[in-house]
């Protein structure tokens, strides 16, 4: 039964000078077989259109859930093709198994990546490409367009991830073109049917994204502290906090929702202390936000009825307030009881950033992907080895991503709204757009007067005003 959803083709266009069957023959034959069979097939040669943006089409392919990837030597050295492959991996949360679920591989040319010489040759190719672009950006960053800087960023992503991408392709059993084309490409059509079947099962929990944003029926069912964490809390000293935070990130946290509820590896999970309904002046409800910032978890491994998570980030100040208050009122170190097992468990439980039995909610998966991209860009800006030009490019990219998010997810609709608004203001300050920075952080304070980053927002506003004053004096 043909699928109603789109099947994308990612391949390198043929060369008229090729001898024998062209690179595109197998691709053309498969395309015609699928179209004749009633499948919806998207291929740049027929669907991009005159004057269509290639960059937009590459991103669209990356978001597909059924992509025919025709691997050839030309493909592996094409910036366009390899960026499509990178986008597929990125939209699979860089999870090898999620990647495999989407990709329908065809090996046009046999390339043996198990041989070090072959692998080194391709690494060298992309290293050369990256170095040429890197030299150009450092030399002419002020003259290059945003789009040209974007191409540099694409080359960089390909260069940094080539090892992972090539390994994933090699590890998939692609079969040879003759076997694949037998019985009118029956094997590929069966693989397409299997993907559709899996997607149908996965979509059960995703049909109502608003439910994912407000779901409070899930909760934390178990916390397994690392041995280091348990040992550490028995030796609390004045300089314990940084180690305590690091060890908290190593704990296994289990929630009561699994694959049967549509949960996937890479999903974000937010612990909940309470929800507040946002209303307009006329009383109209516009959404809900957390009354108090909770800890952000990320799903590591999924089972049918539960999921293993680990801490991704948490509201440090509010958590530390709770910890210090509990420590001041506790009897830690004061008990004469010989039974220290109960006391130690109680100590771990009260020091930990999340609590057993605490409710959790699931931010929308697409929203989580956007946040991951923005947080990754921010992390790159902290690299001390980057040139000033590279940092400027990253700050601009961060602002573009933030604006896209803030346009799509209005206040009360997006879990990461406050964090992304804050990151945008930070990038504006670094670009010396101080007036814009003040406007962003004042908006943050209007929306989140008791937000986790209230103090930071006030500090950035004051810093911006000082910079404006100094600039005016010089001017």
Centroid of chain to Cα 322: 30
pLDDT at 475: 66
Note whether residue 162 is domain-resident. Answer: yes
Provide the residue range defining the domain that includes 383: 366-474
Q: How many structural domains does the chain have?
A: 3
Q: What is the dihedral of CA 443, 445, 447, 451, to 10 degrees?
A: 140
Of 5, 352, 49, nearest to 196 by C-alpha is 5
Residue 1 included in any domain:
no
Asked if 157 and 31 sit in the same domain, the reply is yes
pTM of the prediction? 0.47
Looking at residue 47, its pLDDT comes to 61
pLDDT at 208: 35
Give the pLDDT score at 127: 93
**Same domain for 421 and 341:** no
Mean pLDDT per segment of 10 residues, for the chain of length 475 residues? 72 57 74 86 66 65 82 88 85 78 83 86 92 87 76 86 84 70 81 73 39 48 66 52 71 88 85 53 48 73 89 71 67 46 58 79 81 83 82 89 84 78 94 94 85 85 93 81
- Sign of the torsion formed by the C-alpha atoms of 189, 191, 192 and 194: positive
Residues 184 and 267 in one domain: no
Q: Which of 72, 68, 78, 76 is nearest to 40 (CA)?
A: 68
Specify the 3-state DSSP secondary structure of 184: helix
* CA separation for the pair 149, 134 (Å, rounded): 10
Distance CA 151, CA 145 (A): 10
Instruction: Report the pLDDT value the prediction gives residue 214, as an integer from 0 to 100.
Output: 37
CA trace torsion 95, 271, 454, 448 (10° rounding): 100
**Judgement on whether residues 410 and 287 belong to the same structural domain of the protein:** no
Please tell me whether residues 163 and 20 are part of one structural domain: yes
* Same-domain status, 95 and 194: yes
Does some domain include residue 60? yes
324 — alpha (psi -120 to 50), left (phi > 0) or beta?
Answer: alpha
Say which CATH number the domain at 178 has.
3.40.50
Q: DSSP characters for 277-305?
A: EEE-TT--EEEEEESS---EEEEEEE-SS
Same domain, 306 and 268: yes
Q: What phi and psi values does residue 154 have, to the nearest 5 degrees?
A: -65, -45
What DSSP designation does 213 have?
H
Among 204, 227, 243, where does a domain finish? 204
Q: If 0-12 CB within 10 Å is exposed, 13-18 middle and 19+ buried, where does residue 277 land?
A: exposed
Does 188 reside within a domain? yes
pLDDT given at position 63: 77
The pLDDT, as a whole number, for residue 18 is: 46
Which of 341, 361, 381 is where one domain is finished?
361
* Residue 100, domain member (yes or no): yes
CA distances, 290 to each of 317, 322, 361 (Å) = 16, 17, 10
Neighbour count for residue 255 (Cβ, 10 Å): 25
Q: Mark whether 79 and 148 lie in a shared domain.
A: yes
Q: Is 444 inside any structural domain?
A: yes
Check whether residue 320 and residue 431 sit in a common domain: no
């Amino acid at each position: 039964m043909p699928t109603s959803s789109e099947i994308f083709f990612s391949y390198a266009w043929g060369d008229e000078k090729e001898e024998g069957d062209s690179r595109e023959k197998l691709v053309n034959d498969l395309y015609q077989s699928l179209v004749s069979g009633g499948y919806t097939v998207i291929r740049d040669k027929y669907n991009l259109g005159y004057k269509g943006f290639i960059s937009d089409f590459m991103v669209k392919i990356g978001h597909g859930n059924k992509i025919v990837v025709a691997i050839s030597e030309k493909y592996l050295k094409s910036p366009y093709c390899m960026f499509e492959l990178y986008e597929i991996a990125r939209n699979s949360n860089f999870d090898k198994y999620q990647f495999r679920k989407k990709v329908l591989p065809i090996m046009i040319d046999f390339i043996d990546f198990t041989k070090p010489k072959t692998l080194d040759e391709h690494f060298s190719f992309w290293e050369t490409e990256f170095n040429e672009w890197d030299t150009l950006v450092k030399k002419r960053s002020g003259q290059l367009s945003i789009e040209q800087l974007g191409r540099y960023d694409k080359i960089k992503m390909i260069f940094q991830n080539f090892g992972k991408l090539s390994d994933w392709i090699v590890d998939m059993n692609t079969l040879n073109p003759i076997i694949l084309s037998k019985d009118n490409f029956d094997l590929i059509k069966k693989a397409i049917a299997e993907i559709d079947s899996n997607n149908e099962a996965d979509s059960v929990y995703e049909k109502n994204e608003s439910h994912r944003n407000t779901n409070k029926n899930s909760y934390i069912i178990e916390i397994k502290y690392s041995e280091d964490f348990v040992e550490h809390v028995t030796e609390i000293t004045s300089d314990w906090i940084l180690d305590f935070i690091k060890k908290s990130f190593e704990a296994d946290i289990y929630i009561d929702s699994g694959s049967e509820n549509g949960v996937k590896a890479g999903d974000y999970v937010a612990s909940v202390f309470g929800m507040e309904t946002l209303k307009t002046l006329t009383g109209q409800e516009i959404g809900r936000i957390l009354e108090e910032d909770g800890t952000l978890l990320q799903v590591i491994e999924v089972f049918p009825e539960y999921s293993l998570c680990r801490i991704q980030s948490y509201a440090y100040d509010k958590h530390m307030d709770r910890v210090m208050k509990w420590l001041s009122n506790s009897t830690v170190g004061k008990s004469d009881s010989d039974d220290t097992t109960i006391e130690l468990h109680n100590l771990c439980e009260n020091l930990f950033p999340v609590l057993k039995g605490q409710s959790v909610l699931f931010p929308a998966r697409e929203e989580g992907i956007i946040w991951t991209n923005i947080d990754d860009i921010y992390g790159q800006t902290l690299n001390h080895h980057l040139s000033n030009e590279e940092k400027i490019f990253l700050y601009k990219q961060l602002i573009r991503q933030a604006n896209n998010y803030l346009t799509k997810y209005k206040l009360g609709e997006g879990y990461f709204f406050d964090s992304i608004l804050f990151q945008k203001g930070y990038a504006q300050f670094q670009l010396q757009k101080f007036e814009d920075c003040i406007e962003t952080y004042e908006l943050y304070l209007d929306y989140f007067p008791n937000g986790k980053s209230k103090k930071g927002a006030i500090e950035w506003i004051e810093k911006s005003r000082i910079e404006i004053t100094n600039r005016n004096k010089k001017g």
